[in-house]
Structures are given as structure tokens and as C-alpha cells.
Amino acid sequence: MAPCVVTRGDSRLLSKPELVCRGLGFAFGANYVFQNCDLTTFKDEFVAVIGPTGSGKSTFLRALAYLITPTTGHVFLDGEEVKSPSSRISMVHQSIATFPWMTAQDNVKLALRCKKICNGEATETSRKMLDLVGLSGHVDDYPKEMSGGMRQRVSIARALAASPEVLLLDEPFVHLDELTANILRQEIHSLVFNPETSLKSAILVSHNLHEVVQLADRVYVMNGSPSTIVDEIGIDLPRPRTERNPHFLDYVDQLYHELSLKNCNGRLRHPQPEAKLIEQPSRTAHRAYR
Ligand SMILES: Nc1ncnc2c1ncn2[C@@H]1O[C@H](COP(=O)(O)OP(=O)(O)OP(=O)(O)O)[C@@H](O)[C@H]1O
Ligand SMILES: [Mg+2]
């Protein structure tokens, strides 16, 4: 089975759209970081966005969540236009964002302030979320007492605590050891597919192409200058996915190839020497392409 490009006939695309953006663009001053981006997530879908460093992936996620106001275009959640930040869309940021003067539990409870729930319920929810990310023994610790990976797990717990419908994940696992990262990947993935949770879809930004193939149903490729979405690739592998599936690495190769060669407006972001790596792809090369 060769890696496939999503077509209109893909049965997954028959489900209801969840988060949609059309013509999205963002400029710092007069300089567009990305423009004319269209993206759709469907219910029970895990989508990934990949692209070279500096191509605007983090800015794109922030614009999707309306944490910054897009310069052009529109965002819709479940058919309604998004015009301001909403607890229905949560984001785990690339740089670890915990408040140093608050304990782990208070950091997570912060996400529940906009919900009209009592303190006892907020405490219970935050403890449950910290337990989920493996920090049940650290609820009263302050960020300075934690490792980078632990602080990142607090950020993930906070993003999940608000019971979002869409979870935006900006390289959420880079600070974690592989074992913890793998547990969290599976946990977040199962939350997206669990009908009892509010979470309906997730968008992951990652430079780890193995992680992308493990998790994503579809992958959007950003590239160009200014960036736009230059391709969309469906990952058609049975779950749970492991590298033991002979087609797993075909997809990794395909994504690697996309990143190395794809360009828009005829301009490559990556110079040719990196593209040469494609001739002899190796797992190490894929992991270290950044
Ligand atoms: N506050 C800012 N003012 C001006 N330019 C900015 C600002 N923040 C980011 N940029 C620029 O926007 C571009 C996109 O940045 P962004 O962080 O979104 O890229 P990215 O794809 O997430 O990169 P990486 O993979 O390294 O995380 C970069 O060229 C960056 O220099
Ligand atoms: Mg980024």
C-alpha cells in the first residue's frame, strides 16, 4: 500500500466539520508569515501540521485559537464563527507556559476560572488532570521545583482541564522522555476518540515525523515564503500504529520528502544539501531533520 493523498471520497471526510479556517493569514506589520490557509478538522479526527522551522506553524495555531487576531480570513467552530479566544479551543504552547508563583494545581485551576464551578469541583478536576499526566504526587509543587518535562505536563493538564472541543498542541512532547511522551500521546489520542469527553479533534504541530505518523489521520504541510498550506496527506494505517507496520516508514519518508522539496512560489525554504538526505533516509535523519 502506497502512502495516499486524501481525496474527496475518503470516508472520514464525510463526518461533520469541527474547526474550519478559510483564507487565514497573519502578518507582523507588513510581513505576512502565512497567508491563504484553509484547514478543516472533522469530529473524532487527529490532524497534524508540519513545516520547516520558521514557517509559521505556532503563529498559525495561535491565530486558529484567536489568541492573536488573524489579518485575513475566518475561523469557524462547529459552524459558528470564532471572533475571540474561547475555552472551547485550548492550546498547549511550544514554550512551556506555567506561572511560577502558582502550584501545579493552581496552574491547572486557572483554566477553570471561566467555568462557573465551585472551588471544590475545580480542585477535583485539576487533580484528575494532573493524575492523567502522571503528576499526582506533585500537585503542591511550584514550577521551579519541577523539571521542564513536568512543567510541560502541567501545561497539558491545564489545556485539558477546560474540557475543550479542539486541542491545539504545539510540539507538546519535546521536553519529555520517550516513555512519558508515548503514554501522553496515547492518552490524548484516546481522549479525542472517547465519546464521553468533550474533545472532538486535535491539531498537532510537530517536527517529529514518527510522532506525526503515529497520531495523525491527516497531515497539512506548510511551506513557502510567506507560508501557505502546500499539501494534505492522509495517513491510512490501522491503529494502534507502530513502526513494525511495514508501511509506517513509507509515510515518514513521504512526509520527509514533502518537507525537503515542497515549496510554493518556486522558492525552497530548505537548501539542497538537506534534500540529499532523502536518497538514504534513516530514522535518525528523520528525527533530526530540524
Ligand atoms: N513577535 C514577532 N514579531 C515579528 N516576527 C515574528 C514574531 N514572532 C514570530 N515572528 C516570525 O514569524 C515567523 C514564524 O514564526 P513561528 O514561531 O510561527 O514559526 P514556527 O513554524 O512555529 O517555527 P518553529 O518550527 O521553529 O517553532 C518567523 O519568521 C518568526 O521570526
Ligand atoms: Mg513553533
Question: Is the separation of the CB atoms in 26 and 60 below 8 Å?
Answer: yes
Torsion of Cα atoms, 92 then 93 then 95 then 100, to 10°: -60
Is 223's C-beta closer than 6 angstroms to any atom of ligand 1? Answer: no
Q: At a CB cut-off of 8 Å and minimum separation 6, what does 201 contact?
A: 18, 19, 41, 42, 43, 44, 45, 46, 47, 165, 166, 167, 192
Question: What is the rounded distance in angstroms from the CA atom of residue 255 to the CA atom of residue 249?
Answer: 10
Partners of 47 in the β-ladder: 203, 218
Query: Once rounded to an integer, what is the mean pLDDT over residues 182-206?
Result: 86
pLDDT at 42: 93
Nearest to 185 by CA among 242, 257, 114: 242
Q: Looking at the CA of residue 171, tell me the nearest atom of ligand 1.
A: 27
Each residue of 109-131: pLDDT tens digit? 998 987 778 889 999 999 999 99
Mutate to test the pocket of ligand 1, among 35, 59, 60 (most ligand atoms within 8 A of CB): 59
Residue 143 half-sphere exposure toward CB, CA atoms < 13 A:
16
Handedness of CA 245, 4, 261, 24 (dihedral sign): negative
pLDDT digits (tens, 9 = 90+) for 151-193: 888 998 999 898 899 999 999 988 888 888 888 888 888 877 7
Contact in structure between 48 and 42 (CB atoms under 8 Å): no
Beta strands in 31-70 (DSSP E): 31-42, 45-50
Cα of 101 to ligand 1 centre, how many Å? 28
**Cell 490501522, located at residue:** 238
Instruction: Give me the residue label for grid cell 503542591.
Output: 140
Whether the CB of 55 sits within 6 Å of ligand 1: yes
pLDDT of residue 3: 40
Q: Distance, CA 163 to ligand 1 centroid (Å)?
A: 28
Residue nearest to atom 2 of ligand 1 (CA): 28
From 26, 31, 33, the mutation candidate for ligand 1 (largest count of ligand atoms within 8 A of CB) is 33
Distance from Cα 280 to the centre of ligand 2, integer Å:
27
Ligand 1 binding pocket includes 225 (Cβ within 6 Å): no
Contact present, 220 and 253 (Cβ < 8 Å): no
pLDDT, one tens digit per residue, over 212-252 is: 999 999 999 999 999 999 999 999 999 889 899 989 999 99
Residue having the nearest C-alpha atom to atom 1 of ligand 1: 28
Domains of the chain, by residue range, sit at 4-88+200-287
The reported pLDDT for the residue numbered 276 is 31
Cα gap 160→125, rounded to integer Å: 10
- Match domain 4-88+200-287 to its CATH number in 3.30.110.40, 3.60.21.10, 1.10.1040.10, 3.40.50.300: 3.40.50.300
DSSP 191-223: HHH-TTSS--EEEEE-S-HHHHHHH-SEEEEEE
The 3-state DSSP class for residue 146 equals coil
